[in-house]
């Protein structure tokens, strides 16, 4: 956008907003941005070049995309880009509905058998393995019987075993929260994260509580409640930093602190606040250097490599595709989970889309799909990238692109 085009676009946004009787703060809250970002847009200072942000603004204003930006690509045929009506985590969602262990209320004499604990621990490990491979349908099926067993055990086990069971429940609910976030089921992720926080506290694991807050913040981000995400993450960061200043931190303390800084970077990036986002990335980098290794405490996969993956994602969210591709040069993520590797490829693909390097973008997205098919086919960012590729290619789209667009329900 030229400066003149930015001013004209900003004036159009302001006019449409006023016609709807909305304040800048109200519209900004509706689309998950800050009032200062929207003010800069309306004054022609902040350009809006990305199609997904244009769609977000149009939805917030309640107008078709072409009303907001007349030269935007035309909408797809009716029904071609609708979201799927079913979700791989539908069964897992039912597990969160109602009281988790009604049997224990009516049959208080039921007792937990101690020899069942190793099997339950192995089942929770399996849940996280499925989450890291983005195998959500399998995860959902496994969760169905596991959560009631754990909840019943937590109420019927001997006191000396209850902490272990509460710790297993905390890990299970964290896995559920992570999976729900990735499938854009943010309200269910909120419930799961809240339960994870309570179970970690009952287990006597304070740093596990902070890990649960990390999951909660990501649910808030998906719900576009950026103020809640920032408040929860910043509060946790401040408390952890004060603790570390006067105590010798464990690697777990540092992993959770670094992950919370990455969460704040995500929040600021979604709000269009470049300087704040980069400040949080730098803080996470410092912690990664202090750890000097890639770890997986609380299944956060925090370490120097994951910090750079988040830096790439943050740069793409801010529209800085060149910076994202520069960071990606030489970055090796083979030691991380398939989900993290796929996320890296997805974000590199998104950066190539922004640079109109369509062949490179398609290659990255296909490689990401090979690693984590369900994530790429359901993640909002990947679907948007595929949709933009299909729109740009039009009738000249390759067979590979058309097939990918069909698999992600993004066919233009």
If asked whether residues 55 and 104 sit together in one domain, one would say no
If asked whether residues 38 and 121 sit together in one domain, one would say no
With contact defined as beta carbons under 8 Å apart, do 311 and 280 qualify?
no
| 331: in domain | no
127 Cβ contact partners less than 8 Å away, ≥ 6 residues apart: 139, 142, 143, 146, 171, 172, 175
Domain boundary among 204, 238, 268: 204
327 Cβ contact partners less than 8 Å away, ≥ 6 residues apart: 308, 311, 312, 315
| pTM for this prediction | 0.76
Q: For residue 8, what are the domain limits?
A: 3-68
d(C-alpha 75, C-alpha 113), whole Å: 59
Neighbours of 107 (CB within 10 A): 10
Instruction: Say if residue 238 is exposed, middle or buried (CB neighbours under 10 Å; 0-12, 13-18, 19+).
Output: exposed
Tens place of pLDDT per residue across the chain (412 aa): 677 888 888 999 999 888 878 888 878 777 767 777 788 889 888 777 777 678 778 878 878 777 888 776 655 443 333 343 445 688 888 888 888 888 778 776 667 788 889 999 999 999 999 999 888 888 988 888 899 889 988 988 888 899 999 999 999 999 999 999 988 899 999 999 999 999 999 999 999 999 999 999 999 999 989 999 999 999 999 999 999 999 999 999 999 999 999 999 999 998 889 999 999 999 999 999 999 999 999 999 999 999 999 999 999 999 999 999 999 998 999 999 999 999 999 999 999 999 999 999 999 999 999 998 888 887 888 888 999 998 888 888 899 999 999 888 866 4
With contact defined as beta carbons under 8 Å apart, do 42 and 12 qualify?
no
| 244: in domain | no
| 387: in domain | yes
If asked whether residues 353 and 396 sit together in one domain, one would say yes
d(C-alpha 75, C-alpha 280), whole Å: 37
If asked whether residues 26 and 105 sit together in one domain, one would say no
d(C-alpha 263, C-alpha 232), whole Å: 10
399 Cβ contact partners less than 8 Å away, ≥ 6 residues apart: none
If asked whether residues 32 and 105 sit together in one domain, one would say no
Our count of domains for the chain comes to: 3
d(C-alpha 63, C-alpha 165), whole Å: 51
């Amino acid at each position: 956008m030229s400066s003149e085009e930015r001013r004209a676009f900003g004036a159009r946004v302001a006019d449409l907003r006023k016609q709807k009787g909305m304040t800048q703060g109200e519209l900004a809250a509706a689309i998950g941005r800050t009032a200062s970002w929207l003010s800069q847009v309306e004054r022609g200072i902040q350009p809006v070049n990305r199609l997904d942000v244009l769609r977000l603004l149009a939805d917030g204003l309640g107008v078709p995309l072409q009303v907001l930006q007349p030269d935007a690509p035309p909408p797809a045929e009716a029904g071609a880009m609708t979201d799927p009506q079913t979700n791989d985590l539908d069964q897992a969602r039912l597990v969160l509905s109602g009281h988790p262990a009604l049997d224990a209320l009516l049959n208080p004499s039921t007792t937990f058998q101690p020899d069942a604990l190793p099997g339950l621990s192995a089942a929770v490990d399996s849940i996280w393995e499925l989450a890291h491979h983005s195998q959500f349908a399998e995860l959902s099926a496994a969760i169905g019987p596991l959560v009631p067993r754990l909840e019943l055990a937590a109420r019927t086990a001997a006191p000396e075993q209850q902490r272990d069971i509460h710790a297993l429940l905390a890990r299970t609910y964290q896995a559920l929260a992570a999976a729900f976030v990735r499938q854009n089921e943010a309200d269910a992720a909120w419930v799961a994260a809240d339960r994870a926080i309570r179970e970690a506290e009952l287990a006597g694991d304070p740093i596990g509580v902070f890990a649960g807050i990390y999951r909660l913040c990501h649910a808030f981000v998906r719900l576009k409640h950026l103020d809640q995400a920032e408040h929860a993450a910043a509060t946790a960061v401040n408390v952890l930093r004060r603790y570390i200043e006067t105590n010798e931190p464990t690697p777990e303390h540092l992993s959770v602190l670094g992950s919370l800084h990455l969460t704040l970077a995500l929040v600021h990036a979604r709000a269009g606040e470049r300087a704040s986002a980069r400040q949080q990335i730098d803080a996470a980098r410092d912690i990664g250097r202090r750890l000097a290794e890639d770890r997986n405490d609380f299944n956060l996969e925090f370490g120097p490599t994951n910090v750079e993956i988040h830096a790439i994602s943050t740069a793409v969210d801010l529209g800085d595709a060149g910076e994202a591709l520069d960071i990606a040069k030489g970055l090796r993520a083979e030691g991380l989970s398939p989900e993290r590797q796929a996320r890296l490829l997805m974000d590199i693909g998104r950066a190539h889309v922004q640079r109109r390097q369509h062949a490179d973008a398609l290659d990255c997205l296909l490689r990401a799909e090979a690693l984590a098919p369900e994530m790429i086919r359901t993640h909002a960012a990947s679907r948007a990238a595929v949709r933009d590729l299909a729109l740009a290619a039009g009738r000249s789209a390759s067979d590979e692109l058309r097939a990918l667009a069909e698999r992600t329900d993004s066919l233009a």
